[in-house]
Amino acid sequence: MNITPEEQKPCPELPPNLGPYRVETNVSFVMSVRQNEDMEFGGRSKPDTCTALQKIAIVIPFRNREPHLEVWLYNMHPFLKKQRADYGIYVVEQNGDAKFNRAKLMNVGFAEAIKDYDYNCFIFTDVDIIPMDQRNLYRCFKNPRHMANSLDKFNFKLRYKTVFGGVVAFSKEQFQKVNGFSNVFWGWGGEDDELYQRVIAMGMSIERPTQEIAKAKAFVHGRDTGNERNVKTIPLIRKAKERMKRDGLNSLDYKVISITKHRLYTKITVDIGLPEGHLF
Ligand code: UDP
Ligand code: MN
């Protein structure tokens, strides 16, 4: 029987049969493609028997981390399908070898994904974090949500009360309300804490799954070349509230170099420029 989308029922609020999930690390792209031949190119999928309540864009900042991406995709497609998500994967790759800017890549992912589909929920995730429990819903909630609060590499402990890195979920409205991430954090660190300050400054608060449900695998790795620690974060974070009106989605400037729809993800390669004051 053919059911047209109009006749479909909305999916249940909570997908059935969710539980602990064992992350598979011994994988390859070929294995993932074989497992996911039902996908639309660009890494899009949606439940076929009901209409999902949210349309979710998953944004991954990226440069030179193929092995992690391979593992992420292998595990996350089945995970998201199990959660009956209507979703698309956007891998936003920084071109060139300037300092890495995770936050700006997230903003680019948001700006490009909304051109693609009517997304109303955005999950911004590192490429090296994979949930260990399917009850950790990759969705949007009443408040911006932090979902990387219980990582194996930190013994499943919350590192500090306001931590907001790794994986976060924002509805489209919530993300626009904070004007996205700051664009001026080059190198490692601080942009996640600054985003937390934006959320608070706009009168919102954050929420998290329980430490049990949020359990996740985070790969241990060295610091990447080009992503050295940013030593100038404290004054930036302190001024988050006043800067957020002019630094973020509304000041986002970049050049798309290419957009490629692979079977398992959409790769957006982008020139995001250089830090202000950069000299050759
Ligand atoms: N990242 C990347 N290439 C880099 C640096 C960072 O792809 O050279 C991305 C990747 O998604 C990574 C995220 O940015 O998971 C955060 O960086 P990192 O993993 O170094 O942060 P940490 O785990 O040390 O908090
Ligand atoms: Mn990492």
Q: Residue 226's domain is classified under what CATH number?
A: 3.90.550.10
Decide: residue 72, CB within 10 A, 0-12 exposed, 13-18 middle, 19+ buried.
Answer: buried
Tokens 């919102």 found at = 204
State pTM to two decimals.
Answer: 0.96
Would you say residue 16 lies in a domain?
no
How many structural domains is the chain composed of?
1
The span from the CA of 192 to the CA of 196, in Å, is 6
Amino acid at position 76, single letter: M
Backbone dihedral region for residue 127 (phi beyond 0: left; psi -120 to 50: alpha; all else: beta): alpha
The span from the CA of 42 to the CA of 30, in Å, is 16
Sign, CA torsion 64/66/71/77: positive
How many angstroms is it from 53 CA to the middle of ligand 1?
A: 31
Would you say residue 81 lies in a domain?
yes
Would you say residue 4 lies in a domain?
no
Are 165 and 151 within 8 A, CB to CB?
Answer: no
Decide: residue 51, CB within 10 A, 0-12 exposed, 13-18 middle, 19+ buried.
Answer: middle
- Looking at the DSSP bridge assignments, the partners of residue 130 are 217
Give the other-Cβ count within 10 Å of 37's Cβ. Answer: 7
Would you say residue 37 lies in a domain?
yes
Would you say residue 253 lies in a domain?
yes
Instruction: Output the tens digit of pLDDT for each of the chain's 280 residues.
Output: 555 656 789 999 999 999 999 999 999 889 988 989 889 999 999 999 999 999 999 999 999 999 999 999 999 999 999 999 999 999 999 999 999 999 999 999 999 999 999 999 999 999 999 999 999 999 999 999 999 999 999 999 999 999 999 999 999 999 999 999 999 999 999 999 999 999 999 999 999 999 999 999 999 999 999 999 999 999 999 999 999 999 999 999 999 999 999 999 999 999 999 998 765 5
- Residues lining ligand 2 (ion), CB within 5 A? 128
Would you say residue 182 lies in a domain?
yes
How many angstroms is it from 222 CA to the middle of ligand 2?
A: 8
Would you say residue 11 lies in a domain?
no
Range of the domain at 119: 31-271
**Ligand that comes closest to the CA of residue 61:** 1
If one residue of 73, 106, 124, 128 were mutated to test the ligand 1 pocket, choosing by the most ligand atoms within 8 A of its CB, it would be 128
Tokens 């009443």 found at = 142
Would you say residue 35 lies in a domain?
yes
Assigned token pair, 231: 């030593």
Assigned token pair, 223: 């610091």
